[in-house]
Amino acid sequence: MPSSELQRINAFLSAFARRQATRIVDLPGGFAVYDDAFFHSRANNQVIIDTAVDAEALPTIAEEALGHLPHRLISVLDNDIGMACAEPLTRAGYTHSLYAVMLHEGPVPVGRPAVEADLDAIRDPLTRRWRDLLPDVDNEVIRHLVDRREARRRGADIVRFIGARTEEGDVASWADLYVDPATGTAQIEDLITSEAHLRRGYADAVLTTALSMAADEDCGTRFLTADASDWPRQWYERRGFSTIGHSHCFERG
């Protein structure tokens, strides 16, 4: 059985997706979320599975829900359900990614070396970062991936964008913080550092500030998700995070 912490986190993720969406369609095993303003954003237009589902039927369920889109994204929050869905979805042409759900169990760092920032302050470096990652897509896709952050303000009671600045005032690293004070849950999401400012401590400054802000809201459950096979997972482990479960993403198109 999932731990109480993991159950709380999965409930938070499910509720955040529902609150952020402009339209929701309930499906067997979960729901689909949509936001036509960010048509090119997979995260804003996807299927989320948060209860038991017929794994063999899931490709058809997703096709009916997402068939009007040029892409498909299915997020499965429970590890056992995700493992059961992997073979049918892979057979249907999906690629499978495993994500570690990481809980912060170390002491909360002292101080706030980064500050809260608005989306305008992050827009330029975030645009450059997406352009580096996706050099072949058109400008509308990049705009959707940048501006979709504004929709995240609907996802939780408290949503903050945090940035660490250089001496010249440029935002070098940034992340989101989502807080649900009622359940004492906080998620740190999309911690990114500009290529020009890597390995200079800016990401540490953002993470320290996010954890401090979460603790100030009495959030005992402080978590993030990280690619289970990529190096940032070890970076987070060195900063007091440990893996307590896994979620699954399946993509096509």
Q: What is the pLDDT along the chain (253 residues), one digit of tens a residue?
A: 568 999 999 999 999 999 999 999 999 999 999 999 999 999 999 999 999 999 999 999 999 999 999 999 999 999 999 999 999 999 999 999 999 999 999 899 988 899 999 889 999 999 999 999 999 999 999 999 999 999 999 999 999 999 999 999 899 999 999 999 999 999 999 999 998 888 899 999 999 999 999 999 999 999 999 999 999 999 999 999 999 999 999 999 8
* Residue 1 confidence (pLDDT): 52
pLDDT in tens, 158-183: 999 999 999 998 999 999 999 999 99
Which residues, other chains included, contact 220 with Cβ-Cβ below 8 Å and sequence gap of 6+? 184
Closest CA to 11 of 102, 58, 78, 105: 78
* Alpha carbon distance 70, 253 (integer Å): 6
Helices (H), the chain: 4-20, 58-66, 79-91, 119-133, 139-147, 202-216, 232-237
Cβ-Cβ contacts under 8 Å for 124 (sequence gap 6 or more): none
Report how far apart the first and last C-alpha atoms of the chain are (Å, whole number).
34
| Model pLDDT, residue 110 | 86
Torsion of CA 247, 202, 194, 150, to 10 degrees: 60
Query: Where do we find the tokens 């990114």?
Result: 192
- CB 210 within 8 Å of CB 108: no
